[in-house]
Chain A
Amino acid sequence: MAKITLQDIRHAYGPNPESDEDWALKKLSLDLADGGAYALLGPSGCGKTTLLNLISGLLTPTEGRILFDNADVTQASPEQRNIAQVFQFPVIYDTMTVYDNLAFPLRNRGIGEKEVDARVREIGKMLELDHMLNKRASGLTADGKQKISLGRGLVRSDVNVIMFDEPLTVIDPHLKWVLRSKLKELHHRIRRTMIYVTHDQTEALTFAEKVVVMKDGQIVQIGTPIELFEKPKHTFVGHFIGSPGMNLLPCTVEGGRAVFAGNPVAAANAAAYKGNGKVLEIGVRPEFVSFGAQGIPVDIVKVADAGRYRIVETRHQDHSIKLLVAEGLVLPTRQAHLQFDPAHTQIYEDGWMVS
C-alpha cells in the first residue's frame, strides 16, 4: 500500500513535442491517498488511460516525477512498482487452469506453493470462482475471464495500487452491476488503493470516493461525487456528469447580480465576480430548477417521462432550459415561470466557476 504523488507530470507519445496538441497529457500534479478508491473519468481520448499507464509504469513520463510513499519510482518497471492492473479486455493465459492463472503472479515472484494455494483459494472464494478452479480458463465466459484478470490483481497481498482500465466494457449489462458491487465490496474489505478508469459516469460515481474528471489531457476537477454534482468547477463537469446535464445560460453581471436575458438571477457566487471574463454563463442543474408563481417566463416545449420524474424542456426566447419534475406533480399549461435554487446556481467565467 502506498500514497501516490504525481509531480508536474507531462507526457507526449511522439518525440520532440512542440505544440499543445503533441502533449497527450498536459502538466498536472495529483495526490492519491493510501487506501482510497479513485475514478478517472472523461471522454475517450482525454488522456485517462495515459495517466493510468504512467502510474502503473507501462509508460515513462516525458517530464515530471512519480512518487510512491515519497520514494521516486519514475524510472521503475511495473514489476518493481508492485502494482496490479486489470485491462479493458480480459487477459487470461489460455492454456492454464483458473487456479494456475490466479497463481501465476505469485509463482513468478518465487512464493512457496503452500502460501500460493492459500491465497488462490481465498481469492477464488472472494470472486466466486472456487467451484471452477480446475477448469481451463479459456472455456469461461467474458465476465468469468474478467474475474480471473481481477483475481490476478488481488491475489498479491502487498500490491501498492490496483488499477482498472475500463474493466467492464465487454461485460453484459446485467453482470456489470454485479461486478461493480463486487469491486466496491472488495475495496471496503481490503482497503487497498484502487484507481478506476472509465468514461461512464455511473461507474465512476458508484465506485469512487473521489473522482478525477479529465478533459483534453488536463484535470478539470477532483472531488467527491456530491461535490461534482453540486459544485461543478467547470461547465464541462456540469455537462458531462448528470443526466440531463447542467443548464448553461449566457448572462451578464451587473452590480453583484447575474442577469440572464433581462431577468435578474440570484447566484451563490455572484459577489465573488471580479469582472475580467470574456464569456459569462449561469450554470444550474435541472434538479435545482422548479416552476413558480413568478420568475423567468418560459414556454414548455417537450416533456419526457423518465420513470420517477419527468424531464421538462422549456424555452425562454432562444434559450432552452431543462428541469426535473417529480411524478405526480401537475405541470403548468403553456405559460409558466421558472425559479432557480440560489444555493445551486453558479456563475461561470470562460468555463470556470467564479470563486
Chain B
Amino acid sequence: MNKTVNQKAWFFVLPVVLLVAFNAIIPLMTVVNFSVQETFGDNVFFWAGVQWFEQVLQSPRFHAALGRQLLFTAIILLIEIPLGLAIALTMPRKGPWVSVCLVLMALPLLIPWNVVGAMWNIFALPDIGFLGRLINGLGIEYNYTRQPFSAWFTMVLMDVWHWTSLVVLLCYAGLVSIPDAYYQAAKVDGARPWAVFRYIQLPKLKYVLTIAILLRFMDSFMIYTEAVVLTGGGPGNATTFLSIDLQKIALGQFDLGPAGAMSIIYFLIILFFSWLFYTLMMKDEAR
C-alpha cells in the first residue's frame, strides 16, 4: 500500500504547535535559561553549564526533600487507591441514594485548596480544634505544630479526606459501566464475590484505575497549597516537600540558578514516574 504524502498537512497543525509553544515550551525554556546561567540581576547572565544541576543533585537538602516527597506520595497512593475502590464498591447502583452519595463524595473536591488547608489547620489545633482536642482527650499526645509524626498524620489525613473522592468517583463510573450480563454470567458460573471482584470488576476497572493512580501521583507529588497553609513545611523541615523547598530556594533565597535546575529535575522525575506507571499498567495490552 502506498501512503499519500502531503506536506501541506503541516500547515494545519501549525495553530496547535503555536498554542503548545506559548503555553508550555516557551515558559519552560525560561526555566531552562535560568538553570544553565548565573545572574546577579540587571539582566546580565554568565554561562554556568551543568553547575547548578550538580549542586542540586549532590545537595543533602534536596535528597531529604525528595525522600519526604516520595514517602508522602507512596502513603497517599497506598491509602487512597484501595480506599476509594472499596468505597465505590459499596456505593448503591440504583435508587434515590445514588445522587445523595455522589453529591457527598463530590463535596470535598469543590473546596478551594487553601481553604482545605485552613480548615484542617484549625480543626487539628491541639487547644481549640475539635480533632486536636479529641485525640488529646483520648490520652494521646498530639500537636502537629511540634511533633513531626503528628504533622505527617494530619497531612495524610487531610489529603485522604480531600482527594479519595476523586478515586471513588472514577471507580464508580467504571463500575456502573460494566454490563449486567457479566454479573449474571458470574452468577450462573457460580462465582463467589471475591471471584467477581478479581475476574470481572478489577479487569474492567483497569483503565480508570490507571487514570486514578496517575492523577493522584501527579497531584500528591506536587502538593503545595494545602501543606503550606497547614504546616508551612514544619515543624523544622519535617513536612518540607519538593514544591515547598523549591519555593523557598526560588523566592525565599532568590537562588534562581539552583531553583531552575531543581524545577527541571522535579519535572523529569514526575515525567519518569508517570511513564513508569502507565507502562506497567498497560503492559498486558501490548501482548
Binding site for A on B (CB under 8 A): 179, 181-182, 184-185, 187-192, 195, 199-200, 203-204, 284, 287
Contacts and interface: CB of A to CB of B under 8 A. Distances in A.
B185 A91 contact: yes
Given A88-B181, A89-B179, A95-B199, A78 B191 contact: no
Contacts of A93: 199-200, 203
Interface residues of A, number: 25
A136 interface: yes
Nearest to A81: B188
B107 to A, nearest CB: 32
A304 B284 CA distance: 54
B15 to A, nearest CB: 39
Interface in A22-76: 56, 58
Given A105-B190, A108-B190, A108-B195, A94 B185 contact: no
A149 B185 contact: yes
A91 B187 CA distance: 12
B190 A109 contact: yes
A236 interface: no
Nearest to B198: A95
Residue of A78, A88, A109 most packed against chain B (CB within 10 A): A78
Given A78-B187, A108-B189, 16 more contacts: A78-B184, A88-B181, A89-B181, A91-B185, A94-B203, A95-B284, A104-B189, A104-B191, A104-B195, A104-B199, A105-B189, A108-B191, A108-B192, A108-B195, A152-B185, A153-B188
Nearest to A80: B190
Contacts of A96: 199
Given A96-B199, A136-B287, A91 B181 contact: yes
A185 interface: no
A77 B187 contact: yes
Contacts of A152: 185, 189
Contacts of A153: 188
B182 A91 contact: yes
Contacts of B284: 95
A108 B185 CA distance: 13
Residue of B187, B190, B191 most packed against chain A (CB within 10 A): B190
Contacts of A89: 179, 181
A56 B192 CA distance: 18
A344 B185 CA distance: 44
B190 A84 contact: no
A68 B179 CA distance: 29
B199 A79 contact: no
Contacts of A88: 181
A87 B187 contact: no
A156 B269 CA distance: 53
Nearest to B287: A136
B187 A79 contact: yes
A213 interface: no
A84 to B, nearest CB: 6
A136 B187 CA distance: 22
A83 interface: yes
B188 A84 contact: yes
A85 interface: yes
Contact of B188 (A83, A94, A136, A139): A83
Minimum-distance CB pairs A-B, first 5 = A91-B185, A108-B190, A105-B189, A87-B181, A93-B199
B187 to A, nearest CB: 5
A78 B284 CA distance: 33
A153 B204 CA distance: 22
A58 B187 contact: yes
A172 to B, nearest CB: 20
Contacts of B182: 91
A94 B192 CA distance: 17
Nearest to B202: A95
B188 to A, nearest CB: 5
Contacts of B187: 58, 77-79
B191 to A, nearest CB: 6
A95 B203 contact: yes
B203 A87 contact: no
A337 B182 CA distance: 58
A83 to B, nearest CB: 7
Contacts of B188: 56, 58, 78-79, 83-85, 105, 153
Nearest to B192: A108
Contacts of B189: 104-105, 108, 152
Contacts of A85: 184-185, 188
Residue of B181, B182, B204 most packed against chain A (CB within 10 A): B181
Contacts of B203: 93-95
A254 B103 CA distance: 72
Nearest to B184: A58
16 contacts: A58-B187, A58-B188, A79-B190, A87-B184, A88-B181, A89-B179, A91-B185, A93-B200, A94-B204, A95-B203, A95-B284, A96-B199, A104-B189, A105-B189, A108-B190, A153-B188
Interface string A96-110: 100000001100110
Nearest to A91: B185
